[in-house]
């Protein structure tokens, strides 16, 4: 156990040392399995290029739901995962598939829908109550239906509401967050979304659905990054995975996260969690 901790400490130190080095030899490619929200929001296209330039490496983004992203890690088909489903993350580490999980950032989930709000969820006091009103009205609702972190959160809210959603009003898409937002827009439906992707699509003119419910503590949405365990999968690019973890949780990486969206959307889409203040 002590040896493992020493080795991990040495690797973290090495990664932080590498972050201070302006240029490295080519390391090939790094496979990042992550959620659709980190890609759809545009965050990765701000956060990754400086890392790729510094380490002379190309990050291949595999954007799927959190459940599928973690499964890719379990199978050794990714080097590092960035997701937002803490129960899945903890199990991934506990089962020996992932190591060195770090908090990265958070935002929250919101419930959006047609301006007329036929289910009357604006008056709801909790997210579960909002879901119960939607079910009672049988108002159109688009679900991710893809075992993602967002889908997991949605299912937990239905359980809290005492509802088993079914019928023509409840549409399981099996798609990512961006596609679900567009589908909800086209059908005048309600849906649950992370705030980051919502702001990117709303301010970008791709959808026109207002936030109808927000602020419940159950809607908190945190993201973590985890390296795939090289003991399980010796072929993974573990050193570069650790370097990416060091980058996104560094002062510079956290500053990029804190500033992302402010200029284009007028608000931050994510809030850094790895350090107390990125400035």
Q: Domain of 13: which CATH number?
A: 3.40.190.10
Token pair for 152? 């997991």
Q: What is the mean pLDDT of the chain?
A: 90
User: In this structure, are 51 and 94 located in the same domain?
Assistant: yes
Percent of the chain whose pLDDT exceeds 70: 89
Query: Is there a single domain that holds both residue 204 and residue 176?
Result: yes
Same domain, 97 and 115: no
Give the HSE-up count for residue 41: Cα atoms under 13 Å, Cβ half-sphere: 26
* pLDDT bucket at 275, cuts 50 / 70 / 90: confident
Domain termination residue (choose one: 179, 204, 219): 219
Same domain, 116 and 178: yes
For residues 61 and 98, membership in a common domain is answered with yes
Whether residue 28 has pLDDT greater than 90: no
Number of structural domains (the chain) is 2
Residues 215, 112 share a domain: yes
Question: Domain check: are 68 and 115 in the same one?
Answer: no
pLDDT of residue 277: 52
- Regarding whether 127 and 84 lie in a shared domain, the answer is no
How large is the average pLDDT for residues 70-90? 96
Residue 7: give the domain boundaries.
Answer: 2-107+222-272
| CA atoms in the 13 A half-sphere facing the CB of 223 | 32
Enter the pTM of the model: 0.83
Tokens of 193: 């979304």
User: Residues 145, 180: contact at Cβ < 8 Å?
Assistant: no
Q: What is the pLDDT of residues 144-193, one digit of tens each?
A: 999 899 999 999 999 999 999 999 999 999 999 999 999 999 999 999 99
Q: How many CB atoms lie within 10 A of CB 164?
A: 9
Helix or strand (DSSP H, E) at 59: strand 58-64
- Label residues 193-229 b or e (16+ Cβ within 10 Å = b): bbbbbbbbbbeeeebebebbbeebeebebbbbbbbbb
* Shared domain check, 228 and 182: no
With respect to residue 278, please indicate whether it lies within any of the assigned structural domains: no
**Which pLDDT value is given to residue 264?**
87
In a shared domain, residues 156 and 25: no
Residue finishing a domain among 199, 219, 239: 219
Count CB-CB contacts under 10 A for residue 13.
Answer: 11
122 and 21 in a common domain: no
Indicate if 112 and 142 belong to the same structural domain. Answer: yes
Query: Which of 236, 252, 222 lies closest to 73 in space, CA to CA?
Result: 236
């Amino acid at each position: 156990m002590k040896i493992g901790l020493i080795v991990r400490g040495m690797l973290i130190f090495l990664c932080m040392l590498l972050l201070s080095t302006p240029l490295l030899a080519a390391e090939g490619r790094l496979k990042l399995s992550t959620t659709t929200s980190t890609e759809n929001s545009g965050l990765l296209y701000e956060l990754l290029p400086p890392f790729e330039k510094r380490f002379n490496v190309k990050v291949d983004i595999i954007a799927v739901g959190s459940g599928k992203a973690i499964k890719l890690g379990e199978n050794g088909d990714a080097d590092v995962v960035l997701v937002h489903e803490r129960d899945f993350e903890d199990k991934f580490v506990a089962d020996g598939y992932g190591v060195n999980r770090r908090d990265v950032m958070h935002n929250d989930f919101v419930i959006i829908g047609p301006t007329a709000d036929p289910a009357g969820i604006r008056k709801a006091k909790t997210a579960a109550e909002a879901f119960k009103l939607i079910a009672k009205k049988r108002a159109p609702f688009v679900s991710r239906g893809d075992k993602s972190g967002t889908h997991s959160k949605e299912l937990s809210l239905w359980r809290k509401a005492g509802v088993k959603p079914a019928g023509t009003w409840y549409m399981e898409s099996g798609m990512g967050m961006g596609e679900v937002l567009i589908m909800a827009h086209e059908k005048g439906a309600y849906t649950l979304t992370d705030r980051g992707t919502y702001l990117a699509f709303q301010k970008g003119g791709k959808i026109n659905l207002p936030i109808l419910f927000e602020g419940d503590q159950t809607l908190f949405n945190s993201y973590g990054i985890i390296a795939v365990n090289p003991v399980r999968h010796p072929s993974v690019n573990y050193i570069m995975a650790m370097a990416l973890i060091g980058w996104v949780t560094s002062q510079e990486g956290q500053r990029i996260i804190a500033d992302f969206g402010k200029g284009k959307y007028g608000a931050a889409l994510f809030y850094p969690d790895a350090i107390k203040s990125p400035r």
